């Protein structure tokens, strides 16, 4: 994955501060529209600049530029630079990125008492198709130079992207609920169609003031999807139905493999969280 270089520019830094008084975390999945929302929030100068600071590729570059090796140290320095004047720091985090840095305990240690926006898309198949294309092209954000400008349709790959997206959405929802976090859910299409209402909702949720004139009326990022996305989605549905027929007749297509994998992943997620809750109970017991 090549870098979104603009994120490191000092022109995005706010006047340095000792740290934020409030933290907003966009709990996201790949291709859910979090980049669009993060840039719209940044435009208001009230939510810091919510970017993927915990993305392993981005984090490695931050460490290099800041000459800081440890995770907590880098996050502290980024917060000093990217906290807006009203004391709010914003960050967007994909569920797998959190897992790669020690899980939810590490996240809460770094950002205690955070507010969470659980951002998702109702049309999760379109999201999976977009993810399949981005993984092949390397073009995650409009303006990035693709490493491959000829992505190929692959039903099994889209199916894997779909499975991962659904699992990551469910993992975020379960984790936030089980830990008693302050969060609200927002849908990508609702945000896209009414940015003003969505940003006002977020400002009320975290308890800050914002002037309507500071909110962009339209997205400040460029749409990436094209007719290819719709074509691949329709083609996948047709292939999925064929796989269903194979399964009913005793065949073992990608649908059967996906069901087994998803079941194992869900069991692992629930077991992990249940063990964590049991450990907390044992610590609290007299």
Which pLDDT value is given to residue 281? Answer: 44
Mean pLDDT by 10 residues, the chain (286 residues): 79 94 97 92 96 94 95 96 97 92 90 96 94 88 72 93 94 96 96 94 96 83 75 93 61 52 56 53 41
Residue 150: its pLDDT value, please? 87
How confident is the model over 197-221, as pLDDT tens digits? 999 999 999 999 998 888 988 777 6
Tokens linked to 109: 């240690």
Q: Give residue 92's domain range.
A: 5-284
Q: Note the pLDDT of residue 213.
A: 85
- The residues, any chain, with a CB within 8 Å of residue 186's CB and separated by 6 or more, are 37, 117, 118, 119, 120, 198, 201, 202
Q: How many structural domains does the chain have?
A: 1
Burial of 227 (0-12, 13-18, 19+ CB in 10 A): exposed
Burial of 14 (0-12, 13-18, 19+ CB in 10 A): middle
CATH number at residue 211: 3.40.50.300
- Check residue 269 and give its pLDDT: 56
Q: Which residue has the tokens 């392993």?
A: 56
**pLDDT value for 90:** 98
The residues near 253 (Cβ < 8 Å, ≥ 6 apart) are 242, 243, 246, 247
Side-chain half-sphere exposure of 73, counting CA atoms within 13 A? 10
pLDDT number for residue 123: 93
Q: Residues 121, 186: contact at Cβ < 8 Å?
A: no
CB 153 within 8 A of CB 232: yes
């Amino acid at each position: 994955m090549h870098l979104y270089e603009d994120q490191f520019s000092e022109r995005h830094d706010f006047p340095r501060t000792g740290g934020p008084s409030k933290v907003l975390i966009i709990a996201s999945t790949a291709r859910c529209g979090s980049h669009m929302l993060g840039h719209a929030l940044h435009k208001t100068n009230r939510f810091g600049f919510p970017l993927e600071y915990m993305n392993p590729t981005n984090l490695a570059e931050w460490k290099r530029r800041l000459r800081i090796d440890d995770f907590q140290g880098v996050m502290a320095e980024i917060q000093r630079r990217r906290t807006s004047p009203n004391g709010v720091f914003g960050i967007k985090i994909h569920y797998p990125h959190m897992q790669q840095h020690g899980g939810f305990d590490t996240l809460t240690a770094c950002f205690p008492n955070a507010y969470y926006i659980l951002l998702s898309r109702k049309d999760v198949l379109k999201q999976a198709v977009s993810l399949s294309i981005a993984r092949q092209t390397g073009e995650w954000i409009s303006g990035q130079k693709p490493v491959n400008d000829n992505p190929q349709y692959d039903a099994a790959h889209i199916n894997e992207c779909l499975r991962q997206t659904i699992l990551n959405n469910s993992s975020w929802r379960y984790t936030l609920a089980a830990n008693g976090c302050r969060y609200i859910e927002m849908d990508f299409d609702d945000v896209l169609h009414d940015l003003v209402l969505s940003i006002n909702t977020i400002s009320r949720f975290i308890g800050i003031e914002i002037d309507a004139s500071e909110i962009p009326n339209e997205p400040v990022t460029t749409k990436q999807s094209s007719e290819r996305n719709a074509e691949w989605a329709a083609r996948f549905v047709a292939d999925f139905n064929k796989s269903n027929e194979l399964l009913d007749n005793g065949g073992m297509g990608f649908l059967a493999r996906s069901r087994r994998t998803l079941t194992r992943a869900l069991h692992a997620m629930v077991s992990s969280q249940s063990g964590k809750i049991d450990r907390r109970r044992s610590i609290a017991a007299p």
